[in-house]
Amino acid sequence: MIEKGYKYAKELYQNIGIDIDAALEALSQIKISMHCWQGDDVQGFENIGALSGGIAATGNYPGKANNIDELMEDIDKAFSLIPGKHKINLHAMYAVTDGEKVERNKLEPKHFMKWVEFAKKRGLGLDFNPTLFSHPMAADGLTLSHPDNKIRNYWVEHCKATRKIAEYMGKELNQPCLHNIWIPDGYKDIPADRWSPRQRLKDSLDEIFSEPMDKRYVIDAVESKVFGIGVESYTVGSHEFYMNYAAKNNILCLLDNGHYHPTEKVSDKIPSMLLFADQLALHVTRPVRWDSDHVVTFNEEIVEIAKEIVRCNAIDRVLIGLDFFDASINRVAAWVIGMRNMQKALLFALLMPHEQLAKMQKDGNFTDVLALNEELKMYPFGAVWDYFCNQNGVPVREKWLDDVKIYEKNVLSKRG
Ligand code: RNT
Ligand code: ZN
Give the mutation target among 88, 89, 223, 227 for probing the ligand 1 site: most ligand atoms within 8 A of CB.
223
Mean pLDDT taken over the chain: 97
Residue 53 has pLDDT above 90, yes or no: yes
Q: Atom 3 (ligand 1): residue with closest C-alpha?
A: 182
Atom of ligand 1 nearest to the CA of 323: 10
Cα-to-centroid distance, 182 and ligand 1 (Å): 7
Place 334 in a pLDDT band, splitting at 50, 70 and 90: very high
Residue-wise pLDDT tens digits, 1-27: 999 999 999 999 999 999 999 999 999
Atom of ligand 1 nearest to the CA of 42: 6
pTM of the model: 0.98
| Catalytic residue list | 182, 223, 225, 256, 259, 283, 291, 293, 323
Residue-wise pLDDT tens digits, 345-377: 999 999 999 999 999 999 999 999 999 999 999
**For position 130, what pLDDT does the model report?**
98
Percent of all residues in the chain with a pLDDT value above 70, rounded to a whole number: 100
Percent of all residues in the chain with a pLDDT value above 90, rounded to a whole number: 99
Place 75 in a pLDDT band, splitting at 50, 70 and 90: very high
Atom of ligand 1 nearest to the CA of 258: 8
Residue-wise pLDDT tens digits, 81-97: 999 999 999 999 999 99
Ligand 1 cavity residues, CB under 6 Å: 37, 42, 55, 129, 182, 223, 225, 256, 283, 291, 323
Residue-wise pLDDT tens digits, 216-226: 999 999 999 99
**For position 48, what pLDDT does the model report?**
83
3-state secondary structure string across the chain: CHHHHHHHHHHHHHHCCCCHHHHHHHHHCCCEEEEHHHCCCCCCCCCCCCCCCCCCCCCCCCCCCCCHHHHHHHHHHHHCCCCCCCEEEEEHHHCCCCCCCCCHHHCCHHHHHHHHHHHHHHCCEEEEECCCCCCHHHCCCCCCCCCCHHHHHHHHHHHHHHHHHHHHHHHHHCCCEEEEECCCCEECCCCCCCHHHHHHHHHHHHHHCCCCCCCCCEEEEEECCCCECCECCEECCCHHHHHHHHHHHCCEEEEECCCCCCCCCHHHHHHHHHCCCCCEEEEECEEECEEEEECCCCCHHHHHHHHHHHHCCCCCCEEEEECCCCCCCCHHHHHHHHHHHHHHHHHHHHCCCHHHHHHHHHCCCHHHHHHHHHHHCCCCHHHHHHHHHHHCCCCCCCHHHHHHHHHHHHCHHHCC
Domains of the chain: 2-414 (3.20.20.150)
Give the mutation target among 91, 182, 226, 239 for probing the ligand 1 site: most ligand atoms within 8 A of CB.
182
Atom of ligand 1 nearest to the CA of 254: 9
pLDDT, mean of residues 385-391:
98
Cα-to-centroid distance, 359 and ligand 1 (Å): 39
Q: Atom 5 (ligand 1): residue with closest C-alpha?
A: 323
Residue-wise pLDDT tens digits, 171-223: 999 999 999 999 999 999 999 999 999 999 999 999 999 999 999 999 999 99
